[in-house]
Structure 1
Amino acid sequence: MSDAPETRPCPDCASPVRAANQSFCDGCGAFLRWDAPAVATREEPEAPRATTGPEEVTTPLPAVAPEPEAPAPEPVREAPRTPEPPASDHPSAPAPSPHTVARSLLVPVPEDRPSEPAVAAPVLPARPEAARPAVRAAEAATPVPGGTPCPACSLANAPGRHFCRFCATPMVPERLSTAEGPYAGRRPGLARDRSRWIVRALIAAGVAAVVVGGVLGGPPAARAVQDHFATRVPVHPVSWTASHSAPNQEPKLAGDGYSNTWWGTGYAGDSEGQYLEAAFAEPTDLLSLLITPGSSKNTTQADGQATPRTFDLVVKDASGEIRVSHHRINDGGTQRVDLRVRDALSVRLVLRTAWRADPRKQVAVAELEFFGRSVT
């Protein structure tokens, strides 16, 4: 038998150790001498030795069993676990020694960890773009043999259609009933009233005729046009005279501005031929006058006097020419009488007939107002 002692296998990979004093394993490189106890060897019977002296008896020491290994305290942080060595088939393989546990704490062993998913790079938010609709080219409609042609696109349509199947144009012209009017939703047509244009044309023609007549007719015609459009202002006489007056009914009362005072002829009946005259301080262009007949504006009074019915206006101008005009007014109420006399110096009202003439009443004039051209 061989004298070489047997050694225990490597505690990590269970590879046999070739020498008892070997520090590292040849298979995995594990440290084998970490304060480990002496390697237990298997005893074999020794051969008898020859002795010359008394035989020495040697008593072998009893084999000491290895102490059970205390579990290592768990750290707060879980340390990487060392894979357990495969079980050895050798019946004498001892339990892991303390140096193996210490080495597992110092030398980390890689573990099979699941691979973490890759983190995608950050992407800025954007507005999603809607899918664009696909545009298809319009296909030409197939004409119908013997159909009715469209009045717009001339495509033949099947008989009985109301609208063209290609351009939707009505196949039959629309006809509206004048009795029922347009259908709902239809905008009514614009009414062309030509009468207003005729009126406007006549007015324009009249204005043009007046202007042209004034220019071609000479100064009198031009003055007539100016008098028609002139601004009227009150003209006050400086003196009043009359052919005859009743007591307390003086001529100046006809121009005092009050309608409840009046001038009276002092004669009963029509007082035909009696007059009332107003004179101006300087030549005045008279356009019209206002006359209030009777003793008051209210002609329904029982004691009201008679009022002028017809009379003559005799106007004397600055050149000494006398112009006479005949006028007729109603019974009662303020009324307007046109004169249109240039450079007038005096105006005389001569009575002809009267309203409500009575032997117990006299003809009265409450107010007589004159209006001329504005100097501005």
Structure 2
Amino acid sequence: MRPCPACGAGNREDDEFCGNCGSYLGWSSRPPQPPPAAAEPAGPEEPAVPAEPAAGPTGRAPDAPGAGAARGPRSPGRAPARPAPRATGGIRALARAGARRAAPAAPPAAAPEPPPQPVRPAPARPEPPAEEDPPVVAVQPAEPIARRPVVRPVAAEETPDGPPCPACGTPNLPERRFCRRCAAPLQTREQPKPLPWWRTVWPLRRRARGGPGRMLRRILLVLVVVGLLFTGFLLLPVGRYLFEDVRDKRGGTAPIGPSRTTASAQAPGHPASAAVDGVTNTYWGAPALDSSLTCAFDKPFRLVGVTVHTGVSKDPREFRRGARPTRADLFITTADGEVRRKAMPLADKPGPQTLRTGISDVVSVRLVLRDASGQGGGRPVALGEVEFYKRT
């Protein structure tokens, strides 16, 4: 088995990456270095034994004291050398020699023991030098320096018969989390499909999942969209009105005269044109209530406001002598044929009275008198002047 250098898990010999943590197994392929052999301890020293001195030709040690008087040791069973018989001496000498040969040899005398030699101590053996620490060198890239973890034993050999790796196609066991060849993750989740752009905008950012509430969520989403469209449709005129109203207040105004003026009824000497001639000492006289004055314009314009002068004159005493209107209705027609009604209450006093309208694309305005004061004696209802203002 091939142990993982990071977590210690067992792997096959041909695996390149750990199946437990995905670490690279190349560093664990180096054979372990054998530890240096320790020097054997020296045994107890034996005392040196002095060598036996060699005997000289006379049987004595050459370095022993009194070597000339003492004989050296003889070897057992060896007779000492005898001198050769002389050639002369007669029969007596021969007899003595034969007697000596027949007599048993006497045992040799014991040689004196040599004096004891001083014991010289044996030279001490040199102890092996202590092992020095290895020098500090630069750490190789990606090489672990820490102690190797304890290898966890593996009971059985792996048989790569599982699903193939999605990256390299190498078969792996089902319980492995990383490929044994390329370390690619094996237990990958299925990536969801990218959401459309409208699903990434709040409040539609939440991903809808299949289930019993999916149809309900779709119905609620449709209702919300319909409600937003309906609200926008209703609020569009209001928003446009506010925008144009701001422009009316911040912009300038200018008077504009009608191109044609008509009345449904008029008193003798007080025609409808007298209401738009620009002076207030002349007036349009309506013989009865519900009489109308219609003013038409050549080009559509933005009608900002309408100013009305009531009565026969600005002088208060003359103003009280005639009949004057106190309420009127304005019917404003735009270029697309739409007619808008504006109620205009009038104070019973001399002077101008203005009604802000704020209507675009106006082509005609019809003023209908609804109520008046000071009637009686056949006096007509006097309308001194009507002024129209446009936005510049």
Q: TM-score range by the shorter chain?
A: 0.3 to 0.5
Please identify which structure carries the higher helix content.
2
Structure 1 length normalisation: TM-score?
0.40
